Structure 1
Amino acid sequence: MSETETQDAAPLRDRIANGAFLAIMGLARILPYERRIPAMGWFFAHVLGPLAGWRRRIRANLAMARPDLSASEVRRLTRAVPDNAGRSLAEIYSGTEFTDRIHRTDPLTGPGLPALEQAAQAGRPVILAVAHFGNYDAMRAALTGRGWPVGALYRPMNNEAFNRHYIPAMRAIAEPMFPRGRAGLAAMLRFLKGGGWLSLGFDQFDGHGTELRFFGLPSKTVLTPAELALRYDALILPIAGVRQPDGLSFRVEVGEPVPHSDPITMMQALNDDLERLVRAHMEQWFWVHRRWKRRG
């Protein structure tokens, strides 16, 4: 199917939403990088966030996880969280302007960096446990800047028209990328078994996961990162692109490797590490997710 036919096959609502996004991003790209990124942050914080109901969701999650926060801090976070999301999306669509900045600064740091360097020399598989924090793609760009290609599993967006440009934008930052599905999973496992590095998310509610703790609350957590690390004797550690106070640069923090034990213990250790990081940078985690939802 041609690109035109794919676009025409998308539902009208999806085409309208995709057209609106392309128009906004097109206007943003007229601006120089240093103004484009904060401009998209402002748009998400003051326009998209309220329209999408994000502020209400953020307040509800904070009421569960951080009931100790003041009303003024909650109000700040209802704007700061969408601002970070908007900046991150603008960075993905900035291509080499974004990746070149990451490569020039080489922002990799943290106690787990020596273990990554040893794994690279030994050709050992690596599981990078990532969350919707800061900018996930800052991590991928930093690793490829060191010559360490990192694969990623992704779920295509429901909006097919949007996928036509979103997935190529992500691929331009780092490859390989594996779509969810039988073929994608098979290719991902071959890549990992051959000594590849794979980033896997773990911070969203998983209905088939195991009930662990996050911010002291029960939340079903996927065990797959730990299970794959055990199966393929892979190094597993947390990693995050932490946005710096200037709003444009990053520190890519490589956490301590998680000792191999059992999947539940390993994933709880990752939840605890993420909680520590989120508490230090509350505005950088995507508090819009329904992390603590209950079923039944």
Structure 2
Amino acid sequence: MAMLRLKLLLLRWATAVGAGLVTLFFLAARVIPYDWMAAFGGGFARLIGPHLRPSRTARANLELAFPEKSPAEREAILRGAWDNLGRTAVEYPYIGRLWDYDPERPDATGRIEVVGQEHFLSLRDDGRPGIVFAAHLANWELLAVAAARHGLEIAVLYREPNNPAIARIIRRIRGQNMGRLIPTDLRGGLALVGVLKGGGHVGMLVDQHFSRGPLGRFFGHPVRTAPAAAKFARAFDCPIHGARVMRLEGGRFRLEITPPLVLPPPSDNPAADEAALTQTITGIIEGWVRDRPQDWLWMHRRWRVPASEAPAMPPAPQKHAADVDKPEGGR
């Protein structure tokens, strides 16, 4: 009993300290310029990250995805991925201030540029439900900000931090800048269905492992991916777009939203249709990651499917991002 009380006391202490540090950081962000904070976050993560345990997973992932690259090239991608993650973490207090793109003046120079603005506006104005899928690329949170600033109400799933005080801070910032937030729990899927039934829009990150998902290929290796985006697109016969963020030099970002995917007519096998669309989405995301590998979250265990399941996989797609134009530019 005494040991349990001690553990609870330590847990409360750790929770309070964590909340205090985050609060202090958010207060500091009011006076420290964004560029300084981003440089610190990126540099610190680039220095420390490669020595942390998640880098073991990242190195294994990079070897699977890019066997043709040298170890030095893969290490450079890993350092870039940590740099991006460090910057993304410290950008939270600045997320609303980072957005300086004016839809009425799309050619103005600023931190943000948008490719495919017409698709944001089409989703907003067509009077139909719609789906936007994305990946953990660059600062992916900017996509929800982009939708909100274009007047597009979009509901997104989010996972709350375990620390209640930190969760309140994050929820407040997201609520001010990103539209409707739906907790990732057993009711989340039902809430998304309700949004679509009401003619609304949902955003989904679909680049991580989902143990109950259909088999597919990612960088030529078997993966399982959540089929919800494909399932909803088929069930509601609504537009489905891809969207990504690219981190550019000088603290700038490019956001791209694709045209709606062209779906083949439904067959008499809904599960096969959903698996095929899920693979199309996964192929598009693979193209994005190949284009800018340093922007992706390599620390996630994406490949968990045993090799014995590989024969059951669908044929590999011919294109990574079929019929989706890829803009020029880079970091």
- Structure-1-length-normalised TM-score: 0.86
Contact 2:241-2:259 within 8 A present in 1 as well: yes
Q: CA RMSD in A?
A: 2.6
Once the 2 structures are TM-superposed, how far is the Cα of residue 196 of structure 1 from its aligned partner?
Answer: 1.5
Please give the residue correspondences for 1:135-214 in structure 2 after superposition, counting only pairs within 5 Å: 135-214=139-218
Note closer, same or farther for the CA distance 1:268–1:179 as it changes in structure 2 (3 Å cut): same
- Indicate the structure (1 or 2) with the bigger Cα radius of gyration: 2
The number of aligned residues is 285
Taking the aligned partners of 1:108 and 1:199, their CA distance within structure 2 comes to 17
User: Residue 290 in 1 paired to residue 301 in 2?
Assistant: yes
SS at match of 1:256: coil
Moved more, 211-220 or 191-200: 191-200
Partner of 1:59: 59
Once the 2 structures are TM-superposed, how far is the Cα of residue 150 of structure 1 from its aligned partner?
Answer: 1.8
User: Residue 273 in 1 paired to residue 284 in 2?
Assistant: yes
Taking the aligned partners of 1:230 and 1:201, their CA distance within structure 2 comes to 18
SS at match of 1:93: helix
Percent identity of paired positions between Structure 1 and Structure 2: 27
User: Unaligned 5+ residue runs, structure 1?
Assistant: 1-7
Instruction: Report Cα offsets for 1:87-116 as digits up to 9, x if no partner.
Output: 1222222143223x2457562214xx5444
Partner of 2:325: none
Taking the aligned partners of 2:120 and 2:94, their CA distance within structure 1 comes to 28
Amino acid at match of 1:44: A
Once the 2 structures are TM-superposed, how far is the Cα of residue 242 of structure 1 from its aligned partner?
Answer: 1.1
Q: Which protein has the bigger helix share?
A: 1
Taking the aligned partners of 1:103 and 1:189, their CA distance within structure 2 comes to 32
Moved more, 27-36 or 13-22: 13-22
Contact 1:238-1:254 within 8 A present in 2 as well: yes
Please give the residue correspondences for 1:56-95 in structure 2 after superposition, counting only pairs within 5 Å: 56-95=56-95
Contact 2:155-2:201 within 8 A present in 1 as well: yes
Amino acid at match of 1:129: F
Instruction: Report Cα offsets for 1:100-149 as digits up to 9, x if no partner.
Output: x2457562214xx5444333222111111011011112222222222112
Partner of 2:238: 234
Instruction: Report Cα offsets for 1:37-59 as digits up to 9, x if no partner.
Output: 12111122223x24642322211
Taking the aligned partners of 1:171 and 1:203, their CA distance within structure 2 comes to 24
Taking the aligned partners of 1:237 and 1:180, their CA distance within structure 2 comes to 22
Partner of 1:37: 38
Once the 2 structures are TM-superposed, how far is the Cα of residue 221 of structure 1 from its aligned partner?
Answer: 0.7
User: Residue 216 in 1 paired to residue 220 in 2?
Assistant: yes
104, 108, 116: which one pairs with 2:114? 108
Partner of 2:256: 253
